[in-house]
Structure 1
Amino acid sequence: MDLCQLCDQPDTISGMLCSACTKSTLRHLAALPALYEELGAHLAPSMAAGHGRSSKGGPAPLPVREHVLDLRAAGGIVGVLEDWEAAVRAERGMTRPVTPGRVAQRITRAVRALTGHMPWIVREWSQAGEFATEIRALTRNVQTIVAPAVDQVRGTRVGTCPAVHEDETICGAVLRLGHGERVVTCSWCGITYPPAMWAGLKTLIDADADARAAA
């Protein structure tokens, strides 16, 4: 009995991927168009005002987040999908398709094409494991940005508290959003950040991180 190229478990269908890994790969593929769209909201932080910040000036506009831009650009999600589609088509003796249109349209088309090739990939392609591994990694990479996992005990780490004390020093304590909670509270200085202030909070956290990196 062969082993699945992704999970190394016995493959009962005598292909390159087991049934479970085939299904998970199809789910990962199907999720990518929507994940691409969701990345748009994470491309650049909002410049909304923050809470507990000194009124002296304000944070300078931040550049676009390069890792998010890379995922949304031609060499990101769409590049990975189209490269794999091209490899499949070359292996099967098919011509490479013309891919006009916006990136979102190209992603949807490539996902549809790869999904259609999955029976052959699973049954015959020697690179099926590499393909499934990269698609899984790509999906998880995007998911960590648009839907970070929640720590059930300590909560989700938000960043460091940007509140400014009376002596104009920044608090800097670690902020966490507890599981099921809707307000971020600093355990050190006690300041609270309700949902309406999260955009501004993120802007200030990123600005402080950049300032520390440049120091």
Structure 2
Amino acid sequence: MTACELCGDDAGGRYLCHRHTVKLAARLADLPTLYDEVGQCLVPRRSGWGEIVATRGAAGPRSPIDEDILDTVNWGRAAEVMRLWRVDVQRVRWPHHAPPPPPADLSSDCRWLAMELEWIVVHYPGAGDLDREVRELEAQARSVVGDPAPRVQRLGTCVAVTAEGVVCGAVISRLPGQTRLACRWCGYVYASAQDWARLQHFQPAESATPASEDAAAAHPSHA
């Protein structure tokens, strides 16, 4: 009998039992959403990441942001951790393959690990450590955003025209209260009242949702 590395129950020859495998899959799916919200919580709504100026050790008033949290609980660190796990799983499964190229992307690496999860829990000796580190990243994020995690709102499909001259069409989603986001497929940034209005206007009638209307209402003076 092979016991689950997390609870000690019979895992049927696997490193993780079915219960913990399901939980790990759910955490991998939720992690990018949690860290999106971390960014919304740590950065004032009126500011972008590029406008943060570190004040540790400098004269003058301190930043309203907790810089210790910013240093340790952020999308970049989570992406780095998950990229290292992806590289190691790939090294064990396909030792002759080159590692995945940078830059690290938290969403794609979590998705890749989730797709390989069945192999991981059967063949990867570090499956238990992977689960523990994912849980630690989740706990750190929840310490910032609260619990339960916010639910993503589906706004429709991206209406930006790509370099090839076609409409992108990728699904556009946001977290509650988020007024700036970039399409994960084509990179177009929705930020202004005109962007939100155009996104809503060009959605097929049957796909219109209250979330779409809420997004357009983020700038009522221009709606």
Residues 4 and 18, structure 1, Cα contact 8 Å, conserved in 2: yes
Tell me how far 1:116 sits from its aligned partner: 1.6
| Identity %, equivalent residues | 27
Residues 78 and 107, structure 1, Cα contact 8 Å, conserved in 2: yes
Give TM-score, length-normalised by structure 1: 0.55
Query: What are the residue-to-residue correspondences of 1:92-103 with 2, within 5 Å?
Result: 92=93, 93=95, 94-100=97-103
Q: Bigger CA drift: 135-144 or 65-74?
A: 65-74
- Corresponding residue number in structure 1 for 2:215: none
Residues 14, 136 of structure 1: alpha-carbon distance in 2 compared, 3 angstrom cutoff: same
- Corresponding residue number in structure 2 for 1:154: none
Query: What are the residue-to-residue correspondences of 1:27-42 with 2, within 5 Å?
Result: 27-42=26-41
Counterpart of 2:139 in structure 1: which amino acid? R
- Corresponding residue number in structure 1 for 2:74: 72
Secondary structure of 2:100's counterpart equals: coil
Counterpart Cα distance in 1 of 2:109 and 2:66: 25
Q: Quick one: higher RCO (CA 8 Å, sep 6+), 1 or 2? A: 1
Structure with larger Rg: 1
Secondary structure of 1:5's counterpart equals: coil
Residues 44 and 63, structure 1, Cα contact 8 Å, conserved in 2: no
Tell me how far 1:62 sits from its aligned partner: 2.2
Residues 45 and 62, structure 1, Cα contact 8 Å, conserved in 2: no
Computed over aligned residues only, the root mean square deviation of the Cα atoms, in angstroms, reads 2.2
Counterpart Cα distance in 2 of 1:69 and 1:97: 25
Residues 75 and 106, structure 2, Cα contact 8 Å, conserved in 1: no
Counterpart Cα distance in 2 of 1:138 and 1:73: 10
- Corresponding residue number in structure 1 for 2:22: 23
Residues 73 and 140, structure 2, Cα contact 8 Å, conserved in 1: no
Counterpart Cα distance in 1 of 2:45 and 2:114: 36
| Count of residue pairs brought into register by the alignment | 131
Counterpart Cα distance in 2 of 1:3 and 1:131: 16
Secondary structure of 1:27's counterpart equals: helix
Tell me how far 1:68 sits from its aligned partner: 3.1
Residues 29 and 135, structure 1, Cα contact 8 Å, conserved in 2: yes
Secondary structure of 1:62's counterpart equals: coil
Counterpart Cα distance in 2 of 1:118 and 1:91: 13
- Corresponding residue number in structure 2 for 1:193: none
Tell me how far 1:96 sits from its aligned partner: 0.9
Counterpart Cα distance in 2 of 1:22 and 1:111: 14
Residues 72-106 of structure 1: CA deviation (Å, up to 9, x unaligned): 253x1101100100111111213211133xx6xx1
Counterpart of 2:80 in structure 1: which amino acid? G
Unaligned 5+ segments in structure 2 are: 47-60, 149-223
Residues 36 and 75, structure 2, Cα contact 8 Å, conserved in 1: no
Runs of 4+ in structure 1 deviating by more than 3 angstroms, as ranges, are: 44-47
